[in-house]
Amino acid sequence: FLPTATIRKIIDGLAMNKLSVLHWHVSDSQSWPSESALFPGLADEGAFHPSAVYSVEAMKSLVQYALQRGVRIVPEWDMPGHLSQHAMDGASLPPGCKGTNAGLFGAVLDPTQNSTYDFLSSFLGEMGSIFSDPYVFLGGDEVDPACFSQQPRIAQWMKQHNMNGSQLENYFWRQFGERVAPQLPNKSFVIWEADAVPIDIASLPPRSIVDPFQSPSAADAFIEAGVP
């Protein structure tokens, strides 16, 4: 959590250096600091502390402060991983899987439940009325598809539908495109492509932009393999 006064200083620095976009990674596995009028439990349960929450009015104020200085704010709520389990519990979301890397990559949404997409439609619609930029970052990185097998209910669903974890992750993005994207007609979606993320580009929602990043070791591996 960064105080709003600190974010304003960052915006001032961007404007002074003629940089026009602040990519704000609002939430992550460690905490969920953004308030939601529709889902108050997200921040109530997911924030570090009640004082470490961005209220709806504070977020609106930051957007206006930035626009007055020629800076756009592109917010990011990473999904389906990098989520706070406490925030998910606060929003009564069905449990997905616990992720990997000792919890660093956070909890993962359950792609098999209708309520997951209902939540995303409502929450992102609410945030879209606060953040006026036409782009919203959806993350998509660092989900270990093997984690879905850790949740017995999801494992059973995958067996019934003849899917593995990678296919289920792609299923999530297809369902997002079919169920959530139509509710956000004025938004384009940005997705991370991190190292060897098993996301099928064809599964991504309409109006998606893929933003690649690679660790040095992965980049070296691509070079050695002759991949441009």
**Strand locations in 109-207 (E):** 135-139, 188-194
Q: What crossing angle do the helices spanning 56-67 and 4-16 adopt, rounded to 10°?
A: 10
172, 111 in Cβ contact below 8 A? yes
Determine the Cα angle at 167 with ends 163 and 173, to 5°: 130
Backbone φ, ψ for residue 221 (5° rounding): -65, -40
Taking the C-alpha atoms of residue 62 and residue 73, their distance in angstroms, rounded to an integer, is 8
Question: For this structure, is 142 an active site residue?
Answer: yes
**Residue 104 exposure: Cα atoms within 13 Å on the Cβ side:** 5
Q: Which of 142, 169, 178, 193 is catalytic?
A: 142
Q: Determine the longest span between alpha carbons in the chain, in angstroms.
A: 56
**Active site residue ranges:** 142
